[in-house]
Amino acid sequence: MSETNMNNTVVDHEYGADEIQILEGLEAVRKRPGMYIGTTASRGLHHLVYEIVDNSVDEALAGFCDTIEVIINEGNSVTVIDNGRGIPVGINHKAGIPGVEVVFTILHAGGKFGGGGYKVSGGLHGVGASVVNALSNWLEVEIYQDGKIYKQRYERGRVCYPLKEIGTCDVDKTGTKVTFLPDDTIFTETTVFEFDVLKRRLREMAFLTKGLHIILKDERKETEDIKADNENEQINELLTRAEADIKSDASVNKKPKFIEFYYEGGIKEFVSYLNKSKTPLYENILYFEGERNNVYVEVAFQHNDSYNESVFSFVNNINTPEGGTHLMGFRNAITKTFNDYARNAKLLKDSEPNLSGEDIREGLTAIISVKIEDPQFEGQTKQKLGNSEARSAVDSIVTEQLTIFLEMNPAIAKTICEKSILAQRAREAARKARDLTRRKTALDGLSLPGKLADCSDKDPKNCEIYIVEGDSAGGSAKTARARATQAILPLRGKILNVEKARLDKIYANAEIKAMITAFGTGIHEDFDITKLRYDKIILMTDADVDGAHISTLLLTFIYRFMPDLIKEGHVYLAKPPLYKIEKNKKVWYAYSYEELDKILQDIGRDQNNKIQRYKGLGEMDADQLWETTMDPERRILLRVNLDEEMESELDLTFTTLMGDKVEPRRDFIVENAKYVKNLDINSL
Ligand code: TSJ
């Protein structure tokens, strides 16, 4: 092991022991890749790219680079190019090898060897380029510096030859180019990069780094992309229902091959992007920026006329879905500052109580981004920022600048305060309504909704609940079900769109109340998963556009009120068949057009084949419904997943699909052909 390395290394040794350690370091990465990149599935594969790009983003944050280009090459290698200073090629004193070799061969070397500037962007779990190198079949780096081009190649982490000069370039041209091919013996599930996945994260990075150009190109032939797409075929199916009408538009099928992100306004533009399908309450996007105690703070926000809070926080360009000190600092600052303002401006009377944080955050879209030298993560999942200096930095910067802004923009200040006061009143009304239901619950034990046909088994682990659209399908489902373990809750018509209703109205909605009581968990801060009455919550709707819409409404409700049900994998979509085929008294069901095609191929395409296209659950009798959609032995269920790393995109998915602006909604569907893909629905 060490021999190969010795033969290939530039410098003469004294450093043999170090090199053995180097190899052991990278070998450890190859042995336990999960420890370094979390997963070797598709997500881990894509993280390799982010890990490399993070280095270029650091160079941009240090002020030496303004363009990063990412290219997916034919054969699924990836190239990242920046126009920064180029990784240092001089011999690193400590290691006795060129800086670039240190970066790629020594575990956790990233950042430590760079002088000056921030080492801020975090990378997944803070691992470096060496991890990408260790997990690549091969990796090549080229550096443009002082009119020279340097190159080195590695295979499975090992140096192939000493860093060498391979030519000259314009002295003005500087930068780094890295190309790597992920190791298919490690990424056994897939080595196919998905354009859309990279696109989403790169867009986020561009939003978080104002003034940086990030370009993504796909140079593969059509086939690779289609291969990746087919892995999500079951999703396509769901989509074809909702999108059948749009699909005729040829542009849908044309994949983008090139995209450039550049946001001069950074997170300000992030906020307007998130609000694009909503109606803002005022034109400005408030933006505050500053540095305190070595914490660089940026905050942008704008209220819209909805009732939901869409606040996303980032530390060193990494999303922190669980928040932490930076988020607490922000919340504290806006609560205090708006209350002070509202009192002073007599918008809030002396007799009235303070606005709560929740009131002020109603309809708020915000991005909080901090950059900090040594982020400490806490909590069970180590995703919550713990540094107390981040709290005080965000709090004081937002308080100071927001106070001034409100003084100078009284009309906006008044709009926000009035919206918050309305929210306060609605919250009070909702609390009263909720207390009423709570008291009732306490008295009756569990007063389950009347429409619910509950199952008899009392162990939630064995139980499932079907949420069924419409009374007639509900009736069939009640007849068809396995009474011991399957409960049926029929819902009447379209359910309330929680994106467009305030809490009091939501609590007053019968369908929503029925679901909340049936599930048993409570919602929001009262949510308690141990009280869940069913292991599986199965949404069963028609296989048409309306059905897809109802599913989305239901998912939106669950996402906003009890997201943990989705995160813990309790939420499913039933998949009714699309076709029934009859021949000689025998019956087949097909769940997709492809399946229909296959069945017809198998049984022969005779004239007397009877093919029925199911339009709704109502067209099936109880037996058919059981056979095709409810029998655990035969049915197909799709599990709904939240990809937490793309929180903001997910929020956008729901708000866009459920929002009231028609144009953005259509654009969204056309652009992202697969909205459910964001939900990452996995077939079981
Ligand atoms: F890490 C990496 F190898 F994966 C990688 C690093 C990949 C890519 C595409 C780019 C980079 C990278 C590194 N771009 N720019 C830099 N800059 C430095 O490493 C650098 C240059 C000069 C100095 C200095 O103090 O003079 C310091 C650093 C960290």
Evaluate: CB of 55 within 6 angstroms of ligand 1.
yes
Residues in Cβ contact with 599 at an 8 Å cutoff, skipping those fewer than 6 apart: 581, 588, 590
Residue located via tokens 């995160």: 567
What one-character-per-residue DSSP string does 4-35 give?
Answer: HHHHH-SSPSS-HHHHHHHHHHHHHHHH-HHH
Query: 115 CB under 6 A from ligand 1?
Result: yes
pLDDT at 437 over 80: no
* Assigned token pair, 275: 């609000």
Residue 255 pLDDT: 64
267-434: in CATH 3.40.50.300: no
Please choose, from the candidates 575, 668, 602, the residue with its C-alpha nearest in 3D space to the C-alpha of residue 237. Answer: 575
* 560 Cβ neighbours under 8 A, 6+ residues apart: 308, 498, 499, 654
Q: CA-to-CA distance for 147 and 174, rounded, in angstroms?
A: 8
| Nearest by Cα to 49 from 112, 129, 126 | 129
Backbone angles phi, psi at 404, to 5 degrees: -65, -45
Least confident among 195-204, 233-242, 526-535, 536-545: 233-242
Quick one: pLDDT band at residue 567, thresholds 50, 70, 90? confident
Mean pLDDT taken over the chain? 84
- Report the atom number in ligand 1 closest to the C-alpha of 141: 3
Spatial distance between the Cα atoms of 671 and 668, rounded to a whole number of angstroms? 5
Atom nearest to 59 CA in ligand 1: 15
Q: What angle do CA 372, 378, 380 make, to 5 degrees?
A: 150
Instruction: Convert the pLDDT of each residue in 342-362 to its tens digit.
Output: 999 999 999 999 999 999 999
Angstrom distance (rounded) from CA 61 to CA 120: 8
Q: pLDDT tens for residues 501-510?
A: 887 888 888 8
Q: What percent of the residues of the chain are helix, what percent strand, and what percent coil, each to the nearest 5?
A: 45, 20, 35
CB burial readout 596-627, b (16+ within 10 A) else e: beebbeeeeeeeeeeeeebebbbbbeeebbbb
Atom of ligand 1 nearest to the CA of 114: 29
User: In this predicted model, what pLDDT tens digit does every residue of 221-237 receive, in sequence order?
Assistant: 875 555 545 444 433 44
- Name which residue leads in pLDDT, 589 or 471: 589
Give me the percent of the chain exceeding a pLDDT of 90: 55
88 lines ligand 1 (CB under 6 A): yes
Type of residue found at 586? K
Predicted confidence at residue 132, as pLDDT, reads: 96
Q: What is the distance in A from the centroid of ligand 1 to the CA of 644?
A: 29
- Rounded mean pLDDT, 635-648: 75
- Select from 323, 351, 278, 239 the least CA-distant residue to 665: 278
By the 8 A CB rule, do 81 and 226 touch? no
Model confidence band, residue 11 (pLDDT cutoffs 50, 70, 90): very low
Angle, alpha carbons 206-641-579 (nearest 5°) = 115
Q: How far is the CA of 140 from the centre of ligand 1 (A)?
A: 14
Residue ranges per domain, the chain? 27-218, 223-259, 267-434
How far apart are the C-alpha atoms of 536 and 572, rounded to whole Å? 7
The residue whose CA is least distant from atom 23 of ligand 1 is 114
- pLDDT of amino acid 233: 44
Q: Atom 10, ligand 1: which residue's CA is nearest?
A: 56
> In CATH terms, are 27-218 and 267-434 the same topology?
no
pLDDT in tens, 587-608: 898 887 888 888 888 888 877 8
Which residue is closest in CA terms to ligand 1's atom 3? 129
Question: How confident is the model over 48-71, as a mean pLDDT?
Answer: 95
Residue 121 CB less than 6 A away from ligand 1: no
Which ligand 1 atom minimizes the distance to the CA of 178? 9
85-99: average pLDDT:
94
Q: Which residue has the higher pLDDT, 594 or 105?
A: 105
Q: State how far the Cα of 40 lies from the Cα of 190, in Å rounded to an integer.
A: 9
Pocket test for ligand 1, best of 50, 56, 139 (most atoms within 8 A of CB): 56
82 lines ligand 1 (CB under 6 A): yes
Ligand 1 centroid distance, CA of 52 (Å): 10
Top mutation candidate among 51, 57, 140, 176 for ligand 1, by most atoms within 8 Å of CB:
176
Whole-angstrom Cα distance, residue 333 to residue 394? 8
Please indicate whether residue 56, judged by its CB atom, sits closer than 6 Å to ligand 1: yes
Find out whether the beta carbon of 48 lies less than 6 Å from any atom of ligand 1: no
Owner of token pair 């259509």: 666
Can you point out the beta strands (E) in 554-676?
571-574, 579-583, 586-590, 610-613, 637-639
Atom of ligand 1 nearest to the CA of 53: 9
Each residue's pLDDT tens digit, 279-310: 999 999 999 999 999 999 999 999 999 888 99
Of 621, 597, 623, whose CA–CA distance to 611 is shortest? 597
**Ligand 1 proximity of 143 Cβ (cutoff 6 Å):** no
| Strand ranges (E), 413-535 | 464-469, 486-491
**Residue 66 backbone dihedrals phi, psi, to 5 degrees:** -125, 0
Task: Please state, in angstroms and rounded to a whole number, the distance separating the CA atoms of residues 292 and 390.
Answer: 9
Distance 407 CA to ligand 1 centre (A): 44
pLDDT exceeds cutoff 50 at 62: yes
C-alpha 352/C-alpha 356 separation (Å) is 12
Whether the CB of 54 sits within 6 Å of ligand 1:
no
Task: Indicate if ligand 1 lies below 6 Å from the C-beta of 84.
Answer: yes
| Reported pTM | 0.78
pLDDT value of residue 231: 42
Asked if 84 contacts 64 with a C-beta cutoff of 8 angstroms, the reply is yes
Asked whether the beta carbons of 132 and 142 are under 8 A apart, the reply is: no
Reference 213, options 161, 142, 264, 147; nearest CA is 264
Distances (CA, A) of 174 to 119, 146, 214, 401: 20, 7, 17, 39
Strands 286-292 and 310-315: unpaired
Instruction: Report which ligand 1 atom has the smallest distance to the Cα of 51.
Output: 4
Strands (E), 245-303: 258-262, 286-292, 295-303
Q: 194-229 pLDDT, tens per residue?
A: 999 999 999 999 999 999 999 999 999 875 555 545
For residue 103, what pLDDT is reported?
93
* Domain 27-218, CATH: 3.30.565.10
Residues that are catalytic: 469, 542, 544, 546
Q: What is the pLDDT, as a whole number, of residue 311?
A: 95
Task: Give the pLDDT score at 658.
Answer: 63
In degrees and rounded to multiples of 5, residue 46 shows phi and psi of: -70, -30
Pairwise pLDDT comparison (174 vs 512), residue with the higher score: 174
CA of 190 to the centre of ligand 1 (A): 29
* HEC profile of 110-132: CCCCCCCCCCCCCCHHHCCHHHH
pLDDT-derived band at 165 (thresholds 50, 70, 90) equals very high
Which pLDDT value is given to residue 531?
Answer: 94
Protein residue closest via CA to atom 17 of ligand 1: 87
* C-alpha 141 to ligand 1 mean position (Å): 11
Q: Is the CB of 87 under 6 A from ligand 1?
A: yes
Nearest partner of 320 among 396, 401, 390, 398, judged by Cα: 390
Q: Is the CB of 103 under 6 A from ligand 1?
A: yes
Residue 316, burial from CB neighbour count under 10 angstroms (0-12, 13-18, 19+): buried
